[in-house]
Amino acid sequence: MIELHDVRKRFGQQVVLDGVDFTVQDGETVALLGPSGCGKSVLLKHVVGLIRQDAGTVVVDGMDVAHLKRDALRRLRSTIGYVFQNGALFDSMNVFENVRLGITNEDQFRDMDYCRERVARCLKLVNLTQDTAEKYPAQLSGGMRKRVGISRAIAGTPKYLLYDEPTSGLDPVNADIIDDLVKSLAAELGVTSVMVTHDVRGAMRVADRLALLTSGRIVQQGTPKEFMESTVPEVREFLERDFGNLNFAA
């Protein structure tokens, strides 16, 4: 379970998170919505310990992330797959090496037979063919890079998958493919997923629950249906940006 209690974070004078309370139950897929620059990615980075909060607590699997020792944090991270906005693939490595790096168990990482088999399986799970393994990130399209990024995130058989804007910069067809992938991976691997996005349509299709982050706070959490019926002004305003006039909730 992922729990954030009263998390506060500021960069200089800019308050990014202003008392965020947010919980993700095991097995859930939660979409964290919000306008660009509202701190969604910052929140996600707190979960994996890339950013430390100024106040509040971030607890994953009962462990306070900010107070974990180096080795404990490393062990925790090996249970979390993180999909970066632009893939964050290592330019100097081919796809095989990139995905292999996601195998967090050191014994398995050194076993090349296991690695070949695991990388092939992960690429297949994200609908990439075997010949992709030899390519370098520069030779891939945006959608393929994201899929390789997902493939690397699942290579270590994580318990949690965190997606940072997995569909941003993609055309609607590729965005739908990635959304379907998020959904199918959650079902096939049984992982707990948190997807940061500003694409409401995609979030509605994929998530069990949605949360809206705006002005540094979570202003609404609930199922897609509850979200569509919400009377919270920030939620209405945000949904109308994507859907226009909201008379289709039924």
Partner 1 sequence: MTSPTSSFDIRRPLGRFVLGGLAHVGRVSLLVFEIFRGLAEWRVWLPRTIEEAANIGLGSLPIILLVAGFAGAVTALQTGYQFTGNIPYYVAGSLIVESVVLELGPVLTGLILAGRIGARYAAELGTMRVTEQIDALETLGRSPASHLVIPRVLAGIVMIPILTIIANITGVLSGWIAVQQVMPVTNHDFEYGARIFWHPFDAWYSVIKGFAFAVCITVVSCYFGFSTEQGAEGVGKSTTSAVVASCVMILLLDTVLAKLLLK
Binding site for partner 1 (CB under 8 A): 45, 48, 50, 74-75, 77-78, 80, 82, 84-86, 88-91, 101-102, 104, 110, 152, 156
Smallest gap, in angstroms, from Cβ of residue 54 to partner 1? Answer: 18
CA dist., res. 229 & res. 166, Å (int):
26
Smallest gap, in angstroms, from Cβ of residue 210 to partner 1? Answer: 24
Considering the complex, state which of residue 81 and residue 238 has its C-beta at the smaller distance from partner 1. Answer: 81
Considering the complex, state which of residue 48 and residue 212 has its C-beta at the smaller distance from partner 1. Answer: 48
Smallest gap, in angstroms, from Cβ of residue 9 to partner 1? Answer: 16
Instruction: Copy the structure tokens of residue 145.
Output: 């890079």
Q: What is the CA radius of gyration of the chain?
A: 18
Q: Beta strands 160-164 and 80-83: pairing type?
A: parallel
Nearest to 49 by CA among 59, 37, 34, 36: 59
The set of residues, in sequence order, having a beta carbon less than 8 Å from that of 165 and lying 6+ positions away, is 40, 41, 85, 196, 197, 198
Smallest gap, in angstroms, from Cβ of residue 104 to partner 1? Answer: 5
Instruction: Copy the structure tokens of residue 44.
Output: 């996600």
Considering the complex, state which of residue 80 and residue 125 has its C-beta at the smaller distance from partner 1. Answer: 80
DSSP conformational letter for 132: G
CA dist., res. 70 & res. 75, Å (int):
9
Smallest gap, in angstroms, from Cβ of residue 120 to partner 1? Answer: 19
Q: Beta strands 192-197 and 160-164: pairing type?
A: parallel
Considering the complex, state which of residue 59 and residue 68 has its C-beta at the smaller distance from partner 1. Answer: 68
Considering the complex, state which of residue 85 and residue 184 has its C-beta at the smaller distance from partner 1. Answer: 85
